[in-house]
Chain A
Amino acid sequence: MNSLVKHIARFIGLILIQTLVLNQIEIGLGIQIMVYPLFVLLLPVEMKVIPLMLVAFAMGLLIDSMSNTYGLHASSLLLFAYTRPMIFKMFAPRDDYDPLLETHIFDMGRAWFIRVFGILLLIHHFWFFLLEMFRFDEIFYILQKTALSVIISFIFCILLQYLFIRNRKENAI
């Protein structure tokens, strides 16, 4: 499949899943499931930082406009896109990234995915809850929300990859 079409489909799909389904699920304990950073993670490795940030910002604003958060998601996703190249560099494979491979769990392996996406998601969620609460006397509540939400969001992101990317691969072969 054409890679541009694939990314546009992921863009729209993740926004719809996030705003129409996941924003409505409320587990309690302040847990909030956010899977849309997966889109920014799966963009090509060779993409430059500035276009990456612009795409992330646009996606964040679209999600904001549908969940009455007025720029909160945009700000966190922007930070996610900004830190992505640094974290990628830190955990680069020995012969650098293969441009033919994608950065999902099947191509890059479990260990790489858990480390890289885990760190990025942690940064994203922490920034999000920090801004949302905006109070330093509730830092423990912020940390609790961040820790629990990251775990659940991470599990959902893995599930989404098994559901959509796996199938597509098998169909292609």
Chain B
Amino acid sequence: MRNFLAFIQRFRVFLVFAGLQIVALTLYFTFLSYPRTQFLTTASYVNGSLLSVRHQVSKHFALEENNRLLQEENIALRSQLPQSYVQLEKEHLKDSMLAEIDDTLYQQQYSYIPATVINSTHDKRNNYLTLNVGKLHGVERGMGVFSSEGIVGVIHNSNDYYSVVKSCLTENINVDIMIASSGQFGLLKWNGVSPNKGTMWGVSNDLDIKLWSKVVTRGGGGIFPRGLPVGKISKKTPVEGKPLWELTINYAVDYKSLQRVYVIKNLLRVEQEKIEASIPPELDE
């Protein structure tokens, strides 16, 4: 016993060092994969409010660019309004297109929550964004996030007022995507280096892939609606030993100047999860 106490006495500095180091590394490696608590993230109340104050100052720097993007999006949306083409198609349709909005044949599946990015990184190995909306605004874990240019990421965790987004610049983002023209689908990954480029995995190499064809979301997991832009294919390289292409995608979103985003709420998600849970596990094998 005395020897043991003497041992602790002698190596106490190293033991304290090792103990604290284990705490830090455990935190790092568990938080990386399982966001279990709110503590120690930018989604906590104190840090969130501090970052909001900073955003109050820095938001004006990119005002002009943001105004332009919002205006472009407004134009795109306005052009889809029924009013936009009532005049032209009056002869073909007996009534105005406005009637279609209340059509019982269509049920709304996605609704959107506007949000502002108050903190973000793009040069780390795993990059996260902090948004100024939280559970009180209806944000929950696993919802998709996109900007007017394309998809941004998935909600990682959230508290009442703030939430953290796992962006497409993280290693295990795994979004279901497809090539818009041919319908070939695969998974989105990130190689951890360039904030402008992602990788598409799982496309069979017996297909002819056209460079610069558009890549969009497939809408498989119920996180993103079908057809949101992801980027364009800029390079194709064969994967060694597998009949697959490795496709490099140039992201449509510029993560360096991202400010306005929308969180996607899937109103039919519970239904989809329920029906998918009923698949018997044997079928997978």
Q: Do A and B come from one complex?
A: yes
B13–A50 touching, CB < 8 Å: yes
Q: Is A60's beta carbon under 8 Å from chain B?
A: yes
Q: How far is the CB of A19 from chain B (nearest CB, A)?
A: 8
Q: Is B54's beta carbon under 8 Å from chain A?
A: yes
A66–B27 touching, CB < 8 Å: no
Counting chain B residues whose Cβ lies within 8 A of the other chain, the interface size class is 35 or more
| Contact mask for chain B residues 38-67; partner A; CB cutoff 8 A; 1 contact, 0 none | 011110100100110010001000000000
A30–B24 touching, CB < 8 Å: no
| Contact mask for chain B residues 1-45; partner A; CB cutoff 8 A; 1 contact, 0 none | 000000000001100110011011111100110000001111010
Residues of B within 8 A of A26 (CB): 121-123, 256
A50–B28 touching, CB < 8 Å: no
Assembly CA distance A66 to B123 (angstroms): 16
Assembly CA distance A49 to B13 (angstroms): 7
Which A16-55 residues sit within 8 Å CB-CB of chain B? 20, 23-24, 26, 28, 30, 32, 49-50, 53-54
Q: Is B262's beta carbon under 8 Å from chain A?
A: no
Please choose the segment from A72-80, A95-103, A118-126, A158-166 that sits at the chain B interface, where 4 or more of its residues have CB less than 8 A away.
A72-80
Contact pick for B128, options A24, A68, A75, A132, CB 8 Å: A68
Contact pick for A70, options B27, B51, B192, CB 8 Å: B27
Q: Which residue of B lies closest to A141 (CB)?
A: B193
Counting chain A residues whose Cβ lies within 8 A of the other chain, the interface size class is 20 to 34
Q: Is B178's beta carbon under 8 Å from chain A?
A: no
Q: How far is the CB of B58 from chain A (nearest CB, A)?
A: 8
Known contacts A26-B123, A50-B13, A132-B125; A68 and B130 CB within 8 A of each other: yes
Residues of B within 8 A of A30 (CB): 123
Q: Which residue of B lies closest to A79 (CB)?
A: B21
Assembly CA distance A122 to B236 (angstroms): 38
Q: Is B124's beta carbon under 8 Å from chain A?
A: yes
B122–A66 touching, CB < 8 Å: no
Contact pick for A65, options B21, B47, B193, CB 8 Å: B47
Contact pick for B123, options A32, A69, A70, CB 8 Å: A32
Shortest Cβ-Cβ A-B pairs, 4 listed: A71-B27, A70-B31, A75-B24, A71-B28
Chain B residues in the interface with A (C-beta under 8 A): 12-13, 16-17, 20-21, 23-28, 31-32, 39-42, 44, 47, 50-51, 54, 58, 119, 121-125, 128, 130, 164, 192-193, 256
Known: A57-B24, A61-B40. 11 other contacts (CB 8 A): A26-B123, A53-B20, A54-B20, A64-B27, A65-B41, A66-B51, A70-B27, A70-B28, A71-B25, A72-B24, A74-B27
- 25 A-B pairs within 8 Å (CB atoms) are namely A26-B122, A26-B256, A32-B123, A49-B13, A50-B12, A50-B13, A57-B23, A65-B40, A65-B42, A65-B44, A66-B47, A67-B121, A68-B42, A68-B119, A70-B40, A71-B23, A71-B27, A71-B31, A72-B24, A75-B21, A78-B17, A78-B20, A78-B24, A82-B13, A131-B25
